[in-house]
Amino acid sequence: MDLDKILEAVAEFVEPHRGKGKVADYIPALASVDPNKFGMAVATRDGTCHKIGDADECFSIQSISKVFTFSLALQKVGDTLWERVGREPSGSAFNSIVQLEHERGIPRNPLINAGAIVVTDHLIDNGDADATTEMLLGVLRDHAEDESIAIDMEVARSESETGARNRSLAHFMASFGNLDNDVETILSAYFRHCALALSCSQLARAALFLAFDGKDPVTRERIVTPQRCRRINAVMMTCGHYDNSGDFAFRIGLPGKSGVGGGVLVIAPGEGAIAVWSPGLNEAGTSTVGALALEALVEQTGWSVFG
Ligand code: GLU
């Protein structure tokens, strides 16, 4: 299969749609991103990264970071994670607070904000949010084989300044006894994780282990067990795209995670990891052009978990 040719065809297909959708504007650093940006990268078994467009430009990965913190928490605490976070699609906005009250402070899944805040809490030892953030950075640099990966501290600061809703979610969960660490400590790590800046190429490479049963196919390092890898992919499939996870599964048929920076990470089990970036979002918060590009890619490659 000639992935470079396929990517060229995908880029041609999305060209008339470039700039569609609404760029996230809750913080200046996201609001000022050029809506016409488009990049896509596919990392395959041997670590080769096929790419097109702005695939080497770093963008704010936002909620895509939740996939990595979720994997790390499963590695660290195993199935006890499920005592404090569920694994059902939320059917509500990513930052909904209503559901949390009904469900007594147990968030629906690890890929919505409340769930990721609980996951982050699990990753903090001795109240040291800096160490957790350094650890995550180190893991991403290792997985992507790229030491240049960094956090955009301007985005992290803005996340904190505009973080009233996330603070509310966290305090609400704390009131149900579902957080061990201090709320501000957890959020200082959470906001920095949202502010990680990666390119499509770095992101696809960093997530490659999820396409190969939890083992990096290049370095042969086992990162998560095969069973956990399948489960992480299952949660991405059912919960990875806010309130349009069902539509995404229908259209693309592969597990993935969207972020409001316009990035989408998608896993094609046994084939590779795909990252796409285009900042304009649909109403649910998923990249409009990114989803179109992924639809075109799976049509051309035939990749799907549904046979
Ligand atoms: N920083 C955003 C928040 O926590 C993440 C949004 C997202 O990408 O879903 O509200």
pTM > 0.85: yes or no: yes
- Whether 95 is in the pocket of ligand 1, judged by its Cβ within 6 Å, is yes
- Whether 287 is in the pocket of ligand 1, judged by its Cβ within 6 Å, is no
Instruction: Give the DSSP H/E element, type plus range, for residue 59.
Output: strand 59-60
Q: Would you list the DSSP string of 73-133?
A: HHHHHGGGGGGTS--S---S-TT-SHHHHHTTT--S-TTSHHHHHHHHHHH-STT-HHHHH
| DSSP H stretches of helix in 124-244 | 129-144, 153-161, 164-175, 183-194, 200-206, 226-239
Q: How far is the CA of 197 from the centre of ligand 1 (A)?
A: 14
The pairing of strands 22-23 and 280-281 is: antiparallel
- Hey, what amino acid is at 263? G
- Whether 303 is in the pocket of ligand 1, judged by its Cβ within 6 Å, is no
**In this predicted structure, what is the pLDDT of residue 175?**
97
Residues 125/143, Cβ–Cβ less than 8 Å:
no
- Whether 96 is in the pocket of ligand 1, judged by its Cβ within 6 Å, is no
Alpha-carbon gap, residue 113 to 93, rounded angstroms: 9
Question: Among 62, 119, 186, which is best to mutate for testing ligand 1, by the most ligand atoms less than 8 A from CB?
Answer: 62
User: Measuring CA to CA, which residue among 151, 87, 144 is closest to residue 119?
Assistant: 87
**In this predicted structure, what is the pLDDT of residue 139?**
98
Alpha-carbon gap, residue 154 to 27, rounded angstroms: 10
Structure tokens at 30: 């996201």
- Whether 236 is in the pocket of ligand 1, judged by its Cβ within 6 Å, is no
Query: Distance of alpha carbon 293 from its chain centroid, rounded?
Result: 17
**In this predicted structure, what is the pLDDT of residue 94?**
64
**In this predicted structure, what is the pLDDT of residue 53?**
98
Q: How far is the CA of 3 from the centre of ligand 1 (A)?
A: 31
Which atom of ligand 1 has the smallest separation from the CA of 261? 8
Alpha-carbon gap, residue 80 to 76, rounded angstroms: 10
Structure tokens at 133: 């953030």
Alpha-carbon gap, residue 307 to 301, rounded angstroms: 12
List, run by run, the mean pLDDT of 10-residue segments along the chain (307 residues).
97 98 95 97 97 98 98 97 95 78 93 97 98 98 97 97 96 97 98 98 98 97 97 98 95 98 98 98 96 98 95
- Whether 166 is in the pocket of ligand 1, judged by its Cβ within 6 Å, is yes
Structure tokens at 35: 């809506």
Cα angle, residue 148 at apex, residues 146 and 153 outer, rounded to 5° = 135
CA distances from residue 295 to 16, 54, 171, 225, 291 in whole angstroms, order as listed: 15, 19, 39, 29, 6
Of all protein residues, the one whose alpha carbon is nearest to atom 4 of ligand 1 is 113
Domains of the chain: 3-63+198-301 (3.40.710.10), 64-194 (3.40.710.10)
- Whether 113 is in the pocket of ligand 1, judged by its Cβ within 6 Å, is yes
